[in-house]
Structure 1
Amino acid sequence: MELIQQIPEISVYIASGEAINHDHPLVRKIAGELRAKYRDAYSYASAAYGYVRDTIPHSQDSGDPRVTWRASDVLSQGTGICYAKSHAYAALLRAEGIPAALCYQRLADDDGSNPVVHGLVAVRLPGEEKWARQDVRGNKPGVDAQFSLGEERLAWTVRPEFSEVDYPVLYAEPHPAVLSALQAAPDRPYLWRTLPTEL
């Protein structure tokens, strides 16, 4: 799918913010440890992807009731849903000067009911002309997302016949509907009832 760069200045996609707080000491520490092992941008981006996807369980899969939304909290508490894990991955990328954007899908059950917005990260590596979407949600039976700059390897491919949508816009900060839901939720069961259903 073709992504639309919402803001022409690439610098907004390496900036630190409240949710993607890559200037936090813990984010810098983890980024530094990964960079020490993976020197070029591609191997670093792939390693950071694997780190977030595999070492931070999706809270729904693990049964963790805590809700995180800042990248540093995701990394320190080791839990988060797709949005939060995307914030952590974007922060690790931006910590090393790699442009990272947030983007979203609208997914649904097989009959088109129970729509929900799903969070992704788009990365733009040096020398690449296009953004490449990545899904750090976390794999489980039936889900096999992988880091890829070519053919997308996301957790789910949208099915238009079930009213699913790939939103093409790249966001420098979390979409307000996503951030509001995360910040207002006292726990994950509450969050599950208040997730955005569209953008």
Structure 2
Amino acid sequence: MQRYLSSSEYIDFEAPEVQALARHLATEAASETELVRLAFEFVRDEIRHSVDFKLNPVTCKASDVLRHKTGYCYAKSHLLAALLRANGIPTGLCYQRLSIAGGDAPYCLHGLNAVYLKEWGWYRVDARGNKPGVNAQFQPPREALAFPIVAPAERDLPEIWAEPLPVVVDALSRYDTYEQVLANLPDIELIA
């Protein structure tokens, strides 16, 4: 579990502002599960999704997401992982492969988290941010993610990553504006 508890370049929970928020959330929670819920709701509701709000800059590191209060789903998942890891809660990164056009190609990755809850084991949460048609919630053991898998080539990817996928980091690092990222969303090829 150590790799799901470590600070890193993108899940930089040792940054002072991330540490401060992690400590504040811990003081508000009566249990570990409540702490996960509070951190999830903070990232979901207080960090604005870059596309929904048409916001720059493009963020990747957890500390930058918190500083600028904006990020794509991937970056928001980095912040949630940082807040929970700072409190000793194992947290990984997960991805879905979704259709951009509503059923067919092109496809892109969508970033979310898996959190290890003592009562239920690994549990996926999606702090992307709610809007009409998107209603992600924290309701363990039932998952309530932002997007269901509906198209034949869409997938819930089963891996729980300790670090962001390189293709995600590349997209968030290469482009300067949310529009540029939107035009070049990361994707991977599925193995048959």
Provide the TM-score with structure 2 as the length reference: 0.94
Q: CA deviation at 1:110?
A: 2.6
Equivalent in the alignment of 1:168: 158
1:124 paired to 2:124 = no
Checking the alignment, whether the CA contact within 8 Å between 1:65 and 1:189 is kept in structure 2 is: no
Alpha-carbon separation, structure 2, partners of 1:181 and 1:122 = 22
2:33 to 9, 17, 42: 42
Separation in 1, partners of 2:61, 2:179? 19
1:187 corresponding residue in structure 2: 177
187-196 vs 166-175, greater mean Cα deviation: 187-196
Contact 2:108/2:188, CA 8 A, preserved across alignment: yes
Asked whether 1:28 is paired with 2:19, we answer yes
Name the SS of the counterpart of 1:116 in structure 2: strand
Gaps of 5+ in 2: none
Q: Runs (4+) of structure 1 moved beyond 3 Å?
A: none
Are 1:137 and 2:158 matched, yes or no? no
Q: State percent identity of aligned pairs.
A: 43
- How many aligned residue pairs are there? 188
SS in structure 2 of the partner of residue 147 of structure 1 = strand
Q: CA deviation at 1:127?
A: 4.1
Q: Does 1:100 align with 2:96?
A: no
* Paired residue type of 1:96: N
- What is the one-letter code of the residue matched to 1:48? A
**Coordinate RMSD, CA, aligned:** 1.1
Which of residues 148, 157, 167 in structure 2 aligns to 1:157?
A: 148
Specify the SS of the correspondent of 1:132: strand
**Quick check: which one's strand share is greater?**
2
C-alpha displacement of 1:186: 1.2
- Alpha-carbon distance between aligned partners in 1 of 2:110 and 2:125, rounded to the nearest angstrom: 12
Q: Which runs of 5+ in 1 are unaligned?
A: 1-9
TM-score (norm 1): 0.91
Q: Distance in 2 between matches of 1:127 and 1:154?
A: 19
Secondary structure in 1 aligned to 2:111? strand
